[in-house]
Amino acid sequence: MYSRLPANQQEIAAYGQAVPRQSKVFSFLKSDNGALDISMYGVLYGDWFKGSEEADLVAAIKSCAPTDAITLHINSEGGDMFAGIAIRNILEAHPGEVTCVVEGLAASAASIAAMAGRTVMRSGAMMMIHNPWTIAIGDADDMRGVAEMLDKVGESLLDVYEKRSGLARAEIRAMLDAETWLTATDAVAKGFADEAAVVRQVRREEHAAQLAGELGRARVTVGRAARERPVEDRRELLREDRREDRP
């Protein structure tokens, strides 16, 4: 059973520990066994006047015990690159099991956050990576300084993606230059994700196997019962069995 984490100071006092308010981008559910589910739906951004919503995420993670499992569900077009890096780093620092599930899109900064722990791509989900960009105002010297800063930021991105994927730095740089969109299968093949989950298909196959097993057990039961009947009765049971097998 899951419970919503408290959204205000009164609820926090009742909950008995420091936990975050609900934010616009993040929502939190905590199970009775301590596992934390985080949904990250929306743009990652920091507000100089109101504070960053990533602080809510940090507080939620810090409320977990070292052995608690954390699952981050992602559907985000990205945003502030340093927010994505911070999310990845704090998740990586958690001693317990961490899973990032891309439910729809993990683009730009959100793809960096998705590099933490074990990454699962849902059916139809995508990931997008590209070079960092920004908006700047100033003279020529200012613009040159911004360009140098973006080059350094790009190297930071390469560090994260290279460590996760194991790809050559030159190949990742080319992918960033091209603004690369990855399907679930592509992300796994390139090393940006661990698994492309096909939940519905797996469930269908499990159900079919279960039905086949039940049918086999039923035939064995019928066969054993038939051996105890007269010959004529056994022939009738065999005819009925064949009729059931016909399309």
Render pLDDT for 3-61 as a digit per residue (tens, 0 to 9): 344 444 443 333 334 344 456 889 999 998 999 999 999 998 765 555 567 788 888 99
Query: What CA–CA distances, in Å, run from 61 to 5, 28, 64, 98, 188?
Result: 12, 10, 5, 11, 27
pLDDT digits (tens, 9 = 90+) for 174-226: 999 999 999 999 999 999 999 998 755 545 566 566 666 666 665 555 455 55
Residue 97's pLDDT is what? 97
244 or 148, which is more confident:
148
Residue with tokens 């492309």: 196
The pLDDT tens digits of the residues spanning 217-232 come to 655 554 555 555 555 5
pLDDT at 2 over 80: no
pTM for this model (two decimals): 0.71
What confidence category does residue 120 fall into, taking pLDDT thresholds of 50, 70 and 90?
A: very high
Task: Write out pLDDT tens, residues 60-90.
Answer: 998 899 999 999 999 999 999 999 999 999 9
